[in-house]
Homo-oligomer: A and B are copies of this chain.
Amino acid sequence: MSDTVAIRPPAAAIDEQSPRERLLMAAASLFRSKGYDRTTVRDIANEVGILSGSIFHHFRNKDEILRAVMADCVDTLLINMDKALASAQTPEQRLRAMIRCELESILGEQGNALTVLVFEWRALSEESKTSLLASRSQYEQLWHHELQLAEDAGLVKESIDPLILRRFLGGALYWTTHWYQSDGDYNIDQLTEQAMALVMK
């Protein structure tokens, strides 16, 4: 429920990026902190040091910027999830890996984009929603699949429907973006353990 400060990427990396990437990072940061509607194309252009008209050489319109932010985000999310699961064996390890991966995405460098993906979905045009739906449901299905395995392994409470559990857990984790402070009492590992404690038997 609190205002949050958008995450800035490490300054060192900015100069090495393509204009498109710099625009997307600036957009993600602004969309997250001000919201899509309140962020003007000019804001984004300013942030990367070009004029507003020039943005339309990179994106057809503002909606496409939002879509690109989200699309890149889901793609990265899937890749990271794959990586995280690759080295996890037991059901518990796999569940922990997924939670940590999602938390790292929300609270780390990807945080702006993922927060935007989660909380600005409504701002997307219908077409863009359609075009993103496949990847997003792929990601959710990954969760459902793994949570089902966890339940089968007797890891989580069987009194909770795995579908509901995923939604509860998703809400809980997404919500961290609104209150988590990296200089607070918990680092991401510790927060992961708290979330594990929540879902595990």
Which 4 A/B pairs are nearest by Cβ-Cβ distance? A171-B175, A37-B37, A168-B172, A171-B172
Are A35 and B157 in contact, CB atoms less than 8 angstroms apart?
no
B172 and A123 contact, CB distance less than 8 A: no
Give A155-173 interface residues, CB cut-off 8 Å to B.
Answer: 157, 159-161, 164-165, 167-173
On whether the beta carbons of A175 and B176 are closer than 8 Å, the reply is no
- In the bound assembly, the distance between CA atoms of A11 and B29 in angstroms comes to 41
* Chain B residue with Cβ nearest A193: B159
Q: List residues of chain B with CB within 8 A of the CB of A167.
A: 172, 175-176, 179
Chain A interface bracket (under 10, 10 to 19, 20 to 34, 35 or more): 35 or more
Contact B3–A121 (Cβ < 8 Å): yes
Closest to A123 in B: B35
CB distance from A112 to the nearest CB of B (A): 14
For A118, list chain B residues within 8 Å (CB). 1
Integer count of this chain's copies in the complex: 4
* Contact in complex: B160, A194 (CB < 8 Å): yes
Among A1, A3, A179, A195, the most chain B Cβ lie within 10 Å of the Cβ of: A1
> What residues make up the interface of A, taking CB atoms closer than 8 Å to B?
1-3, 34-35, 37-38, 117-119, 121-123, 129, 136, 140, 157, 159-161, 164-165, 167-176, 178-179, 185-186, 191, 193-195, 197-199
Q: Other CB < 8 Å A-B pairs besides A159-B197, A171-B174, A171-B178, 12 of them?
A: A1-B121, A1-B140, A3-B122, A35-B37, A35-B122, A160-B197, A161-B185, A165-B198, A167-B172, A167-B176, A168-B172, A169-B172
Determine the chain B residues whose CB is within 8 A of the CB of A157 once the complex forms: 197-198
State which of B34, B178, B194 has its C-beta within 8 Å of the C-beta of A164: B194
Taking a contact as CB atoms under 8 Å apart, the answer to whether A194 and B175 are in contact is no
With the chains together, A164 CA to B191 CA distance in Å?
9
Does A136 contact B194, Cβ atoms closer than 8 Å?
no
Partner of A122, one of B34, B165, B194, B199: B34
